[in-house]
Amino acid sequence: MNHMIMKSRILIPLCIAVSCAGLDAAQNPPWRVIYNNDTTNILNCVSPYNKASKERPRMLAEEQIRASVREAVRPGVDAQLISPAHSWVPWWPSKIIPLAEHEQWFRERYGVEPDLSEHRYLLAGGDILGVFIDECHKNNVAALISFRCNDGHHQERTWDEKVPGEVAHALNRFYVEHPEYRLGPPPSRLMKDRVHNWLIPEARAHKERMLAEIVEIYPALDGIELDFLRHPYYFPDDTPMAVRVEVMCDFIGKIRILLEQASAKNNEGHRYLGARIPVNEAEWRDIGLDPDAWRKAGIDYFNVSPSYRLTQQTNVAALRQAAPDARIYLELTHTPQTWKFGGPGYDDHTYRRSTKEMLETTARIGYARGADGMSFFNFAYYREHGGCREQRRPFNEPPFEELSAVASSDALAGAPGYFFQAQDNVLFVKGQKRGYTMDIAPAKGNKAGALRLQLVTTAESRADERAVPEKIARGEWKVVLNGVELKATEAGGKAYPFPTPFKAGFGGATQYLAWQVPAGLLANGGNHIDIIAVNPPEGGLRLKWIDIIQNSSE
C-alpha cells in the first residue's frame, strides 16, 4: 500500500461511515452571488496584474492572488470560491502528499522537470489558499474551497512515456499506483474511463483525507463546495440508483462531520457545504444525486452548473421541487458556445462571448424557476489566454459590473429579453424539419420581438474570428413558434442586436435570418419552435444559433 496513504491515516483519523442524516440540519447560506476563482486563470490570462503575453511568469506572486480576489469584490458578491487545481496534487502545505516529494516522484517517473509557477510559489513557502482566505475576509467576503471530486483533466497522459512538466499538478502517484480504481482500464483515454470508480471505498477515502487536511489547516475557512462536475462520472453504468445515492450520502456526510467538528473545535459558527451539480436533470443519475437525500446528508446549497457553457435550459425548477427548502444558485459563465477551428491546444477554440443581455436574461429565467442567487464560473476567460490568439481575438476585460447586476431578481424585472439556444451546427437540407424547445420567461409586457437563426455553411461552422462570411443567399426558411407561423423580416444588419463591447464569437450579420414574433406569443415556460428548410442553398446549411429578442415595456 502507498506509504503516503498509511501516513495520512495516522495524521488525520477519519469518521466511520455515516447515513444520509447529518449531525445538524442543513443551513442556507445568506449569499446572493458566489464567484469561482479557478486559480490557474491568474497566470493563464493577461490582466491588470499579469501583463505577460504568452509566457507565464516563472513564479506566482502573493499580490496576484490578492488582486484576483479584489477584482471580484462587488456589491452582492458575498462569497468567493477557489479551486486548488484538480484536487489530485495538494496546493496547500500537505503532510499527506508533500509537494517536494510529489515533484521528486514526477521527475523519477517521467524524466522531466515539473514546470508550474504555482508549484514554485508553494515550494518557496507560499500559501495560495491561506492568502485567498485572508484577502476574502479583509473584504468581508466568505471564503470557500471548491474541491474537484473526480477530475479527469490530463489523466489520459498518465501512462505516456513523455509528458510536459506543466502537467505535474495533475499526474500523481496515487492514481498511477491504483489503475484498478479507474472506471475503465488503461490504456483507454476516454474521460468516462479515466476517472475513479466511487464504488471502491479506497478511491473515495483518498479524497476524504485531502478534505480533512484542508479543514484542519484552515480553521478560518467558511466552507467547502464539492465539485461533482469535474468530472461527472462516478459509477459503472449498471450501478443501481439506490447504491449511487448511498455512496454519495456517505461521502457527503463525512465531510459534513469534518466541518462541524472544525466549527466546534474553534467555537465558531456554521461552516457551509455546497454541491456543484449538473444543469440537466438527466445527469443526476451519473453523480447519484437525490436532492432530498443529499440535503439530509449535510448539503447546505446546490450550485446548478452547465459545466462550461452558459445555458438557459436548466433543471432549477425540478431541483426546487425536489428540495423545496434548499438554497439554489444558478451558474453563469463567460461563453454560451465554443467551437474548434483547427487549433491543437486545450483552449484553442473560439467562443461566443456572454453579453450583458445573455447574463441578465439567463439570471431572470433562473430566478423565475426558483433560484435564490447566482454564481459565476470561468468569468476571467474573457481575457486573452490560450493558443492561436490571432484566430480568437479580440479579447476583453470581464464585465465585472454584471456580478452586481444579477444579484437581485427585482433589479432584472424591467430588463429586455434575450433568449438563446446554441446549436451544434446541425445540417438542414431541403425539406428538412426539426423542432426545438426553449425555456422562456417573457420580458415585462410580453411585447413583440424577433426570432433569428444563424445559418452557416460547413466551412463557416469551423471558421475562426478572421474569417469573412461567404457571399451567398441563405435561402428560404419557415419558422413556427408555439403553433403560429412567423412572418419573415429584416435581420437588422447586426450579428449581435444590442450594443456591446464584445466583438468576437457572433459571426457575420449576413449569416442571420429573422422573423417577427407577435406580442403575447411567448409563453412563460417551454416554447416550441419548428424550423423548416424550404429552399436552402444547394448542399444545405447548418443551424448554429437561435435567439429571440424582446424589449421590455419599461
Amino acid type, 429: V
Residue among 35, 186, 188, 162 at smallest CA distance from 110: 162
Give dist(CA 85, CA 227) in Å, integer. 12
Instruction: Give me the mean pLDDT over the 147-163 stretch.
Output: 96
Contact criterion met (CB below 8 Å) for 316 and 327: no
Per-residue confidence (pLDDT) for residue 106, from 0 to 100 = 99
Q: Is the pLDDT of residue 266 over 90?
A: no
**Residue 303, beta-bridge partner list:** 276, 329
Instruction: Give me the mean pLDDT over the 207-217 stretch.
Output: 99
Per-residue confidence (pLDDT) for residue 9, from 0 to 100 = 30
Contact criterion met (CB below 8 Å) for 394 and 503: yes
pLDDT band of 56, cuts 50, 70, 90: confident
- Written as one string, the DSSP assignment of 402-449 is HHHHTS-TGGGTTPPEEEEEEEEEEEE-TT-EEEEEEEE-PPTT---E
Per-residue confidence (pLDDT) for residue 346, from 0 to 100 = 75
**Residue 245, beta-bridge partner list:** none
Q: Is the pLDDT of residue 4 over 50?
A: no
pTM: 0.95
Percent of the residues in the chain that have a pLDDT greater than 70, as a whole number: 95
Contact criterion met (CB below 8 Å) for 82 and 132: yes
356-379, pLDDT tens digit by residue?
Answer: 999 999 999 999 999 999 999 999
The Cβ-side half-sphere exposure at 355, using a 13 Å CA radius, reads 20
Highest mean predicted confidence (pLDDT) among 2-6, 341-345, 455-459 = 455-459
Instruction: Give me the mean pLDDT over the 54-70 stretch.
Output: 93
Ranking 54-63, 322-331, 342-351 by mean pLDDT, the lowest is: 342-351
Q: Which domains, ranges and CATH numbers included, belong to the chain?
A: 3-305 (3.20.20), 417-550 (2.60.120.1200)
Per-residue confidence (pLDDT) for residue 206, from 0 to 100 = 99
Per-residue confidence (pLDDT) for residue 267, from 0 to 100 = 84
486-537, pLDDT tens digit by residue?
Answer: 999 999 999 999 999 999 999 999 999 999 999 999 999 999 999 999 999 9
- In the structure grid, which three cell numbers stand for residue 316, read together? 432549477
CA 154 to chain CA centroid, Å, is 18
Contact criterion met (CB below 8 Å) for 441 and 521: no
Per-residue confidence (pLDDT) for residue 14, from 0 to 100 = 40
- Averaged confidence pLDDT in the chain: 95
- Written as one string, the DSSP assignment of 187-246 is T---HHHHSB-TTSHHHHHHHHHHHHHHHHH-TT--EEEEETTSS---S-TT--HHHHHH
- Polymer length of the chain: 554
Give dist(CA 434, CA 3) in Å, integer. 58
Q: Is the pLDDT of residue 11 over 70?
A: no
Contact criterion met (CB below 8 Å) for 495 and 467: no
pLDDT band of 23, cuts 50, 70, 90: low
Per-residue confidence (pLDDT) for residue 7, from 0 to 100 = 31
Q: How are the residues of the chain apportioned to helix, strand and coil, as percentages rounded to the nearest 5?
A: 30, 25, 45
Give dist(CA 354, CA 332) in Å, integer. 9
